[in-house]
Structure 1
Amino acid sequence: MTEPNILNRLLGGASDRSRTTGTPRTGATGLDGAANALAVQALLRCWVREARVPVPARGATLEISLHATGVRIMAEVRYWSATGWHRFGPARFRSGRTLDATVLAALLATEANSHGSPADLVEQVIDSTRRLDRYLRARAATPNGDPIAPFLVGEQALVSGHPLHPTPKSRPGLSDVDELGAAPELRGAAPLHWFAVDRALVRHGSATGTSALDQLAALAPRGLRAPSGTVLVPAHFWQARSLLGRADVQDLISDGRLCDLGPGGPAWAATSSVRTLYRADAPRMLKFSLGVRITNSRREHLVPELIRGAEMYRLVEAGLGELLAAAHPRFRILGDPAWAAVPLPTEDPTGQVALAVSLRDNPFGPDARVVCVAGLVAERPDLADSRSGLAVLIEQLARGSSSDSAHGRAGGGRRAGGRPVAAVAVEWLRRYVDEVIAPVAWLHGVHGLGLEAHQQNTLVTLDPAGWPVGGWYRDNQGYYLSPSRAGSLRALVPGLGAASDATNPDDVIDERVAYYVGVNNLLGLIGAIGSAGLADEVLLLRAAVAALETRRYGFVRALLDEPEVPCKANLLTRVAGLDELVGPVETQSVYVRIPNPLWEVRT
């Protein structure tokens, strides 16, 4: 078996797994109610975390009293998680009657905001659940349809979405037909849509020796040429359709300052963010504006964020890359070196721009063993065994290990023919901390650069066996420069953070990084391993503490020493109607404090 096929199987590609688990689940078989059940799980997890509702032990009953409506909701606790990855039975009223995600969302939204309307959250939950049902059925019916490239398999494996978000798959305005080309869950791919734009209208920047406009022209289909005085600018196919329906765009077309050249060239595949597109043979990935609300934001580029991506690329090239390579040689920041934007007459040229693209480095060819962490840990109810790619990987590592291993004797837990699975899971986690979490902590604590390294922004490099041997961070938005600790970086790039609006107060940076890296990424990984039955979460938490003890800088100190940690409240953020791309960083989303399980196992 070739190496990419091994990774396909480990990451949820069903070409091998379907042969060992029976007939693929087509139609409704095994999937009736699965999307609703996942939506209910996410709503309950969000509420007990954000409202700090005590969750009893496994086998007991969770009770949630909602005072605004006088209702009590109950659910069996099937798995209790120190990190919040609880598993519940169906939600029900005291009478025993079950309630679906729509009713549950209405009740929780009313409780969270008794003076407002729950309609917005309810609409998004309905939209998310309907789409999730479609994704699960489509993937179950086509289990052998995954691409060859492991990178793209991982990007398109996030079928069920964020386990602690109330509306992970809501995409209002994106039709079922559009999703065939736009949704990574449906393995969507489509050609780019090209425009020729008056050069005077285009803002652009590049941190390389080649301008962004020349780089875009090099990606254009053979034979496509821009008329004199114009330059080629691509758009996501859905965004292009939206743009062409705008009066200001039609005015530019009438004036001859913008020309619609239509779709052309090979198909580009949707990745986990939906708006970032990938081709294994292209030197760049392309991250577009997409006027669709996905999770907490309408996904259109802000010009300062485009500038920020190129600025951070320049910083890496100016010396930060060498410093990082010396301290953590297998961790890299994926560059966004160039960008182009066309601020339309009705838009703020310093704000969100509907026709804009960021060019991202693409070192991930068809054989690259690099995968998105969120896709690796995602639940897969569309597959016959429902296991995540990480669960399959850890169990295979255990089967392939010697039962005489010292780690195996110490690990405990169920075996898979070699080392105990729990021992392998603990070792996998410790290596992940060394390769992925530690470099991010070093950048924050030593150099004052905070990275928004949640699981979807984090990539892990796997060796042929499946062990973590490196990591990557990607995002042109999520960089935070400390005003007090980033002096060494400003010495490398004078004026760093000014045009990019990347400098934020230290307390805000510390809060954000502690959540994104500590809670979402690290505790989320521990919860995924624990809730899959691979290892006790206490063992995993202790292993994480041991791996972090020698790295007490930046947000790590808070993770180890504080009884509570900051946490983004996704349900409350949605009820409040906030957009995380709008306004000051301090007020873009709702944050709460939650108990810190890392501190608890230390004390």
Structure 2
Amino acid sequence: MSNLLDTPPGNHPAVAADRAAVDNLLRCWVRETGVERPSDGVLRLDLPASGTGVEAPVLYWSPVGWHRFGPARLRTGTPASATALAALLGVEAAAGDPASVTDLTARVADSVRRVEEFVRVRAAAPEDPAGTTAFLAGEQALITGHPLHPTPKSREGLTEAETARYSPETRGGFPLHWFAADPSVVSADSSLGRTAQEVLASLAGDGIAPPPGTVLVPAHPWQARDVTGRPAVRALLDAGLLHDLGPAGPAWSPTSSVRTVYRADAPVMLKFSLGLRITNSRRENMRSELHRGLAVDRLLSAGLAGALHAAHPTFDVVRDPAWLAVDAPDTPEEHATGLDVVVRANPFGADAAVQGVCVAGLVAPRPELPGGRSWLATLVHGLAERTGRPVGEVAEEWFARYAERVVAPVLWLYARYGLGLEAHQQNTLVVLDEEGRPAGGRYRDNQGYYFSPGRSDALYGWVPGIGRDLGTYVADEVIDERLAYYVGINNLLGLAGALGSQGLADEERLLRLADRFLAGQCAEHGDRLRLAALLRDEPVLRCKANLLTRVHGMDELTGPLEAQSVYVDIANPIAEVRK
């Protein structure tokens, strides 16, 4: 089977970045507006609002939407750059709102510029530094970002120097910035046997001396600079209730989310608020998320972890067992100061026997390398060479093992206990065996736990009423829609799309494997897992529309859960392949 990545988008970083962005925009438009596969191998988009059209050769047409295109051109023959294409598509989608068009175009330009720099930096040093864990390598591998997002690397507000320092793609690193707060303005909780205050103080090292009786509060250095200009924080500083101590301690590495930081020698990771608009949202912790992460940690400790391990011993949840926040008197707690931190367990230290690898990083093409081959493609080709088997056969086996070891436990939790995990590819980690095959999985993210009113009472024996006050206690129909997208379309079918678009497997054969896997889930769980039947049988699926969400200026972290993103109907590729 040929490897489509042997035809790279271009060796020059600017060309690679622009071509990746054009592909993203075209994929989004095709998916979100229902464009059908062209019969002659040329995608033609009519753009009546601007009186023109765009054409691009189809290099690969993916049943799940991971298409690949050649250079895009206007009907006049003029090459269409990513920013030009963004402006044209924005005019079509924005219904006469010029501000939306300007915003989309600016964010696409920002994303392209950053990808260009990432490719340039990584091409100069493509190999992972000595001592890098597999976990960190996976977090740093997502160079071009989500393949179905118009602005996957947009980070509004970062200078070039800050981008180099704070980005996982550049292998950035930095010491934390420390504050000291009066205990009267600190809220915290922990299930670690130590207070959050004690855990965080242990990370500060000896080079910092807080005023007596105060609480040490770490912050991301960008956030530290930003929040000192906020009235609530300024008032605390002026009143002597908060002290700015500056940077101190060893360097931490940003992970794929940018705001969660990691050290191979630390027992925990830290997830900060970060007031940057990354992709669609300002990434600041909401207090409900802090409570939710710790509540799930306590639920796991009370008995759910044991039940999960008994059913799926190679799958686990990365826990968020503590948090701390600085409050401002007479100010609502949500976003009052922006000084808060989630303490996340770090099971992937330098000496850990098991390493989890971010699935999004694993499947992402790497334009900084000759041929752009992804980590996953390297694994599959290596397995094929060592075993003397065809690449396609190895890829199909990899896919089937992934479904059973990573996706099945997520579906089991939802079917058995009504606990839904927003397990998209960036929130999902795969554990690889010595040969590079899926051996297990991990889930991480305190934003993405859903509790079913109809079935979460199965958890009440461990924690009475769990989920009712955590902000994601929503109807099964809403959870089904979200998980059908995140677990089904983004994660499982996204893996099929990655394998197919990279020339590693026949995508229709993978879809048949997915169908058989889901049929097994239906047989195991019956009516308790309507989601599996939905993914197999429904002619259309509800799918998040990242381009339309961006054009409409929606923030995916605010507002009612049901209205945080635009969703559209797409043809169900599993139902299609069964016809």
Distance in 2 (alpha carbons) for counterparts of 1:344 and 1:87: 50
Residue 139 (1) aligns with residue 122 (2): yes
Q: Any idea what the Cα deviations from partners look like across 1:363-395, whole Å, max 9, x if unmatched?
A: 102254321000000011111121000000000
Summarize the alignment of residues 342-421 of structure 1 with structure 2, pairs less than 5 Å apart.
Answer: 342-344=326-328, 348-350=332-334, 354-366=338-350, 368-401=354-387, 418-421=388-391
Partner of 1:67: 48
| Letter matched to residue 293 of structure 1 | R
Note if contact 1:156-1:271 (Cα within 8 Å) is conserved in structure 2.
yes
Structure-2 separation of matches of 1:346 and 1:466: 54
Q: 2:175 — aligned with what?
A: 191
**SS class of match (1:169):** coil
TM-score (norm 2): 0.94
Compute the TM-score of the two structures, normalised by the length of structure 1.
0.91
Q: Which moved more, 1:566-575 or 1:443-452?
A: 443-452
How does 1:3-14 map onto structure 2 within 5 Å? none
CA RMSD of aligned residues (A): 1.7
**Residue 580 (1) aligns with residue 563 (2):** no
Distance in 1 of aligned mates of 2:358 and 2:11: 29
Partner of 1:480, secondary structure, is strand
Alignment correspondent of 1:92: 73
Contact residue 233 and residue 337 of structure 2 kept, 8 A: no
Residue 491, structure 1, aligned to residue 475, structure 2: no
Aligned length: 561
Distance of 1:32 and 1:296 partners within structure 2: 23
Give the aligned partner of residue 550 of structure 1: 520
1:351 Cα offset (Å): 5.0
Residue 40 of structure 1 aligns with an amino acid whose one-letter code is V
Q: How does 1:240-319 map to 2 (within 5 A)?
A: 240-319=224-303
The equivalent of 1:119 in structure 2 is 102
Residues 420 and 518 of structure 1: is their aligned pair in 2 closer, same or farther, counting only changes over 3 Å?
same
For residues 332 and 554 of structure 2, the distance between their equivalents in structure 1, rounded to whole angstroms, comes to 20
Over 3 Å counting, the alpha-carbon distance change for 1:352 and 1:258 in structure 2 is closer
Measure, in 1, the Cα distance between the counterparts of 2:59 and 2:545.
23
The alpha-carbon deviation at position 179 of structure 1 amounts to 1.5
SS in 1 for 2:50: coil
- Whether 1:466 aligns to 2:436 is yes
* 1:48 maps to which of 19, 27, 30: 30
Task: State the alpha-carbon separation in 2 of the partners of residues 203 and 498 from structure 1.
Answer: 22
CA contact (8 A) 1:151 1:369 kept: yes
Determine the C-alpha separation between the residues in 1 that align with 2:477 and 2:102.
Answer: 34
Does the alignment pair 1:210 with 2:191?
no
Moved more, 390-399 or 491-500: 491-500
| SS of aligned partner of 1:515 | helix
Q: 1:547 to 1:498 in 2, by over 3 A?
A: closer
Rate the CA distance shift 1:433–1:29 in 2: closer, same or farther, 3 A. closer
Counterpart in 1 of 2:3?
A: none
Change in 2 beyond 3 A, CA 1:527/1:360: same
Stretches of structure 1 lacking an aligned partner (at least 5 in a row): 1-20, 402-417
Name the aligned partner's letter for residue 48 of structure 1: V
Q: Deviations over 1:168-223 (max 9, x none)?
A: 00001011111222100000110000100111111111123221111111111225
Query: Is 1:449–1:480's contact at 8 Å kept on the other side of the alignment?
Result: yes
**Equivalent residue for 1:510, pick from 451, 456, 480:** 480
Following superposition, the deviation at residue 34 of structure 1 comes to 1.1
1:429 counterpart = 2:413 = no
Q: Following the alignment from structure 1 to structure 2, what is the Cα–Cα distance between the partners of residues 501 and 464? A: 40
Match of 2:62 in 1: 81
CA contact (8 A) 2:13 2:117 kept: no
CA contact (8 A) 2:207 2:248 kept: no
Report the secondary structure of 1:84's partner residue: coil
SS of corresponding position for 1:301 = coil
Instruction: Tell me the secondary structure at the aligned position of residue 157 of structure 2.
Output: coil
Q: What percent identity do the matched residue pairs reach?
A: 55
Kindly indicate whether the alpha-carbon contact (under 8 Å) linking 2:328 and 2:337 is maintained by their aligned counterparts in 1.
yes
In the TM superposition, what is the alpha-carbon distance from 1:518 to its structure 2 partner?
0.2
Q: How does 1:148-227 map onto structure 2 within 5 Å?
A: 148-227=132-211
What is the alpha-carbon distance in structure 1 between the residues aligned to residue 439 and residue 117 of structure 2?
35
Q: Alpha-carbon deviation of 1:422?
A: 0.3
